[in-house]
Structure 1
C-alpha cells in the first residue's frame, strides 16, 4: 500500500517533457521487461486508437485525432517484484538500467488514465494481474489477480484519453519518427539486438516497423561515418568522456538538424545545431548515386551524444539534466559546452556540404561590403564570418558588422584607459604605436562610410536634375532637401545632417541663421526656401570679421525671374538681404545681434539653370562676368562688400564630383 500525493507529484513535473515522453517511457519499460524475461523474438507493439469524430487537418485532410495509445510486450510481466516497484515512489528496482522510479507519473500528465493488464509467472503457473494507476494517494488501485487467459507472459498498458490531442501529430508516420528519434540509441547500440517494435493503427489499417527505419533498402535514417567521435572535459582533475554518433534523417518535413543528449539510451534534450553552426539551418540534399537529381532526398542531421556524465546527471523526469545549460559552476560542465563540441564534430563529419555553404555565405558578405558598404573592409578582415547567419540579408550583414565595429571601438577605449592609467612611460611607449594604428583604422572606417554616402548623395542630386517621365523637372523641394532639410534652424540641424558640401566644402561647419523660419521670432521677413524665392544666410561664429554667406535657389529651367515685371530678382534679393543684416534688422537664433562691420565680407550665391535668357540678363543688365568654364557668372559690389556668383545646377554637380573624385577612385566607388 502506498501513500503518495500523486496529484502534487504530477503537477511538479518540470518542463522538458512532451506527450511523447510517457509513450517512450512505456516502450523502454517494455524493452527492459523483454530483456528480463529473455524471450525469443521479443516484440513491442504500440497501438494508436483514434477518436470516432473526424477532424479536418490542413496537411493531412480528414484524419481522426488520437485518443488512446496501447503499449504491449511479451516480456516478464508484472510479477510481485515489478508490481511492488510500481507501487513505490522513487523505486530503485531498475537503477542498474538507469531507472529513476518516477517515469510512470509522466503518463498522468498527458493522459487521463493508465490501466495495466499483465500476465506473469507465479512459480509453476501463470497469473493475470489487472490494475489502474491512482490519482489521489494510492499508486495502484482496483487491483485484481486471476488465472491467466494467455499462455505467455507479457503486459499491455493503456494510456487513455490523451490531453491536448493537438500536441500529438495525427499522422502515423510522424508519430513513428517521433518515437524512433527518442529511442534511436536502442536501435544502434553495439552488440545488442533491439526487440521488434511496431506502430499500428487500432483498426489494423496500417503498420510501421520502427526497426526498419535503419534498414539497408528502406533506410529513412542512415548513419554518417565519424573518424573520431569522442571528446573529453577535465573537471577538477577528473576526465569525463563523451561519444557522438551522427545520422541523416531523410524526408524531414519541417524538422531541423539537432543535437540530442542521451542518458541510458533515451534522448533527453535536443537543440538545433544551427544555434552553433548557422549553416545547419536548412535541409541538406543527397543525390542518387548516379548523380541524377530528380529522385534525390532532403535530409537533416541528428547528432546523439552519449556519456556516463549524462547518465549520472539526468533529471528525475528525464526532461533535462541537473547541470546548467550555460556555464555551470557546481558541476563544471554545461549543456552548451557539450553541444558546441558535438556541433563541431557534426560539421566535420559532413565538411563538404557545410564548406560549400560557408563559401557561399562569405561570398555574399564580401559582395555586400565591396558594393554597398566599403567602409567595413577593415572590420571584415577582423570578423569571424562563421558566426553570421546562413544566407544573410543585407540588413543582417550590416547589423553584425556594426556590432563588430562597436566591439572593436570598445576594446580600443578600454586599452587607451589602461595605458593612460599606467604611470609607466616605458609601457606607454611600447603600447602607443599599436593603439594609434587601431584608432586610425577605426577612424578610416568612419571616413570611408562618410565618403561613400557622398557618392549616393551625388547620384540622387544628379537624378533630381533630370526630366521626369511627364517631361517636367522635379519640384524644387526635392533639390532643397538634398542640400539641407527644410524647416530647420541652427538649433535643430547638425552639420552631418546637411549636404552643403555640394556647394562649398567650407560650409560644412558653418552655422546657418535661418531656413524657412522667420528671423526675430516672426517680426521680420522670412527666408522662404521651400520655393527657392527667398535667400538663406550662413555664417561661422558670430564675429564681425567672419563672412556671411547667402544662397538663393531657383527651380531647374526656370528663368521668369529675369522679366522686368518680376519681383523675384535673385541678385536684388541678396542685396536687400545683405542691407537688412547690415542695418541690424535680424538677430541670431539665440536672440543676439548679428555682428557686422563696414568691412565684413558678404558672399552671395544664386543657383539656377543658365538659359540664354538668363545669360543675356546677367551680361546686359547686371554687369556680371562669365567664368572660364561658362557654367557660372560673377560680380563684385564694392559698396557693400558683396561678392556674388550665379552658378548653374550642372556646375554645382560637376564641381562637387570633381572635389570628391579622388576619394571615390581610391575606394573603388
Structure 2
C-alpha cells in the first residue's frame, strides 16, 4: 500500500460503522436473517467437503423463561473454518465466495441482530483435524476474541451459537415454532425440495425435518423455463411451480407468490394473485413459484436481502413467470375461466354488435382476458377495446390497400377485406337494432301482464303502455325520431316526420279550440320517394288499459277516434307543434285509426254496433268508414305482441338471439 511520510494512504472502515449502515430493518423475516446466513454458510461448507455419508444442518432455538426466542445454535457437517475460510472471515466484504453468490458480509448479520456469536469449528488442515474456537463481538479494535486452535479427532463441522438477541429484533421475532420452521423453509426452498444436499432439522421443543415437513405439504410440482426481454436482451429463467398446503402461504404477501432466487437463496418475493387471477387456491392450497436465472444472480444486493435491479425490470420477470404459472394452474383457474365465459356469452347476447369479436367465445376468454378480470363491467371493457382495436386495424389496412396499393393483387385483397368488413359491421348494426327491439317486446309483454293484474285505475295504467310506445307530451320538435317505439303498432309509423302525443287538438289544428287529446297523431310521411306535404294518410292511435271491461256508449273508443277524424277533416289545416309545417286535409286524404285494446265483452258489444268485421285471424276488428274516409282497426294487446314476435323471429334466429 502506498505511503506518504510513513502514513498509509488507503481507506479504512470500522466494524461499528459498517453495522450501523447495514440495511436490515427489524421485521419478522429480518430477525431470522442471521440464521439464514448461518445456514447458507453451512450449505457452502458442506458442498466444499467430499463426504460419503448423509450431511445435515441442525438449528436449535433457545428461548428465555417467558418463551420468547433469545438465540439460536446452528451446527453443520461441513468442511469447517479452514485457514482460507478463516482468512476470508476476517475480511469485511470478502470476495472469497463471490463465484457462488457470497458477498462477504453474511456474518455481519450476526452482530446486527445479536450481541454475541460464538464459533467452534473442526476442520482438516491436511495432516490432522483441529478445532478453531472464538467469540465474535462488535468491537472495532478486536472483534475476534478468545481465539484458540487445538487438535481434534474430527469429524469436520461448525457450530455457530448466537446469543443475546437485540431487543428491536427480539420484539419482531416469530414466537411460534411452526412460523420459524416455515420461514426457514421459504428462504431455502430450493435446498428443501431438492433430494440432493443435506437434511435440515429445527429443534424447538421437538425435531422438525424440513425436507419431510415441506414434502408432505406439496400437492404437485412442475419445472419449466421462460424468457423475459429486459432492455435489449432476452434473458432465460427457470421456474419451479409448486402447489402446497396453505400452511406455507407467504405470511407477508398473504396470497399466491413468486419467489426470486439468487444463487439458490430467496432474495425477493412478489404476490401474483392479481396476475394469475387467483389470490388463493381452492381447497386450502397455495401457489409458490421459484424463479432463478443469471440476471437475478448478477443483480442481488451485497447484503443478499433484495435485488438491486430497477423494480420495473423485476416486474417484467414476474409477469412472464405469472404467465407460465397460469398454464401450470389451469385446473385451478378453470372456474375463473368458466365464469368469464358465462359473462362473455351474456355480453354477446345483450350486445350483438360484438358478434364478430366474440365469434370464438372460448378463444377470446383464453387469449384476450387476464384472469384478474372478474366482473361484468371489466369484461365488457375488454370486449369493447378489442372490437375497437380490430376495427381500426382493418380500417387502416383497407384505406392503405385501396388508396395506395402496391399492385393489383393488394388492391383486390383490400377490396375483399373491405366487403367482408362492411358485411360484418352491417350485421352487427342490425343485430344491435334487432336486440333493442327484442328488449322492448319483452318489456311490453311484462308490462301488459302487470297492468292486467293491477287495480282498475284506468288512466295511470293505460299511460304506462302509452309512454313505452311514445312518451306523453312528446312531439316531433322535442323528441328524436329514433327514440320512440311506434314500430310496435305498424312498421310504417316510424317514417312519419310529424307526430304529437297526448296534446290537445287545438294545438294541432289551426284555429281549433278543441281541448280533446288524442293519444297519438301522425302526419306527413318521410320518404325519399315522397315530398313532405303531399297527400299522405293521417294516423290516429288510441290506447286503452289492458284487460279493461267497463266500456259504454259514452266511453266508446271507436266513436272517439272517428270524432277526432271529423274534427281534423272539417276543411281544417293541421300544423306541427313548432309551426314549421302545416298541411290542408284534402277531401281524398285517408285516415288510419289504431285502437289498441283487449277485446273484452263490453268492447265487443260496441265494435259490433259499429258494424266492424273480424280480422281474418278472428282476433281483432276492422272497418272502413266511407263518409270520413277512415280505416279503423281494433288490435288486442296479445295480437300486437305476437305479431311483433312473428315479424322479428326470422331476425332473432338468423342472428342467434334467444
Give your verdict on TM over 0.5: yes
Partner of 1:381: 359
Q: Which segments of 5 or more consecutive residues in structure 2 lack a partner in the other structure?
A: 1-13, 50-54, 123-129, 153-157
Partner of 1:118: 118
Note the C-alpha offset of 1:30: 0.5
C-alpha deviations, 1:206-244, integer Å up to 9, x for none? 6644333245xxx12366355xx3455788998754323
Checking the alignment, whether the CA contact within 8 Å between 1:533 and 1:570 is kept in structure 2 is no
- Identify which of 223, 234, 242 aligns with 2:237: 242
- Identify which of 649, 653, 657 aligns with 2:637: 649
Q: Partners of 1:367 and 1:82 in 2: how far apart?
A: 66
Checking the alignment, whether the CA contact within 8 Å between 1:549 and 1:602 is kept in structure 2 is yes
Checking the alignment, whether the CA contact within 8 Å between 1:259 and 1:343 is kept in structure 2 is no
Partner of 2:580: 593
- Identify which of 184, 191, 216 aligns with 2:189: 184
Partner of 1:438: 421
Partner of 1:419: 401
Partner of 1:544: 533
SS, match of residue 582 in structure 2: coil
Q: Partners of 2:108 and 2:566 in 1: how far apart?
A: 93
Partner of 2:4: none
Pairing of 1:79-478 with structure 2 (within 5 A): 85=91, 92=95, 94-100=97-103, 114-119=114-119, 126-131=133-138, 145=145, 153-156=159-162, 160-161=166-167, 172-189=177-194, 191-194=196-199, 196-198=200-202, 200=204, 204=205, 208-215=208-215, 219-221=216-218, 224=221, 226=223, 229-231=224-226, 240-252=235-247, 256-271=255-270, 278=277, 283=281, 298-315=284-301, 318-320=305-307, 322=309, 325=312, 334-336=316-318, 338-339=320-321, 342-343=324-325, 347=328, 353=331, 364=342, 368=346, 377-382=355-360, 383-387=363-367, 388=369, 398-422=380-404, 426=408, 427-466=410-449, 472=455, 475-478=461-464
Q: Which segments of 5 or more consecutive residues in structure 1 lack a partner in the other structure?
A: 53-63, 133-139, 286-297, 329-333
Checking the alignment, whether the CA contact within 8 Å between 2:229 and 2:235 is kept in structure 1 is yes
Note the C-alpha offset of 1:466: 2.6
Note the C-alpha offset of 1:501: 2.0
Note the C-alpha offset of 1:450: 3.4
SS, match of residue 541 in structure 2: strand
C-alpha deviations, 1:409-435, integer Å up to 9, x for none? 233333334335426683333211123
Partner of 1:631: 619
Q: Partners of 1:84 and 1:491 in 2: how far apart?
A: 94
Pairing of 1:28-107 with structure 2 (within 5 A): 28-35=36-43, 41-46=56-61, 70-74=71-75, 85=91, 92=95, 94-100=97-103
Checking the alignment, whether the CA contact within 8 Å between 1:260 and 1:302 is kept in structure 2 is yes
Checking the alignment, whether the CA contact within 8 Å between 1:486 and 1:516 is kept in structure 2 is yes
Note the C-alpha offset of 1:142: 11
Q: Partners of 1:268 and 1:464 in 2: how far apart?
A: 65
2:624 corresponds to 1:616: no
Q: How many pairs does the alignment contain?
A: 595
> Over alpha carbons, which structure has the higher Rg?
2
Q: Partners of 1:69 and 1:573 in 2: how far apart?
A: 103
Note the C-alpha offset of 1:184: 0.5
Note the C-alpha offset of 1:198: 1.7
Closer, same or farther in 2 for the Cα pair 1:125/1:406, shift >3 Å?
closer
Partner of 2:6: none
Checking the alignment, whether the CA contact within 8 Å between 1:263 and 1:306 is kept in structure 2 is yes
Q: Partners of 1:30 and 1:626 in 2: how far apart?
A: 100
Note the C-alpha offset of 1:544: 1.5
Note the C-alpha offset of 1:311: 0.5
Q: Partners of 1:633 and 1:269 in 2: how far apart?
A: 81
C-alpha deviations, 1:550-579, integer Å up to 9, x for none? 322111133545432789964156437746
Closer, same or farther in 2 for the Cα pair 1:158/1:281, shift >3 Å?
same
Q: Partners of 1:516 and 1:8 in 2: how far apart?
A: 84
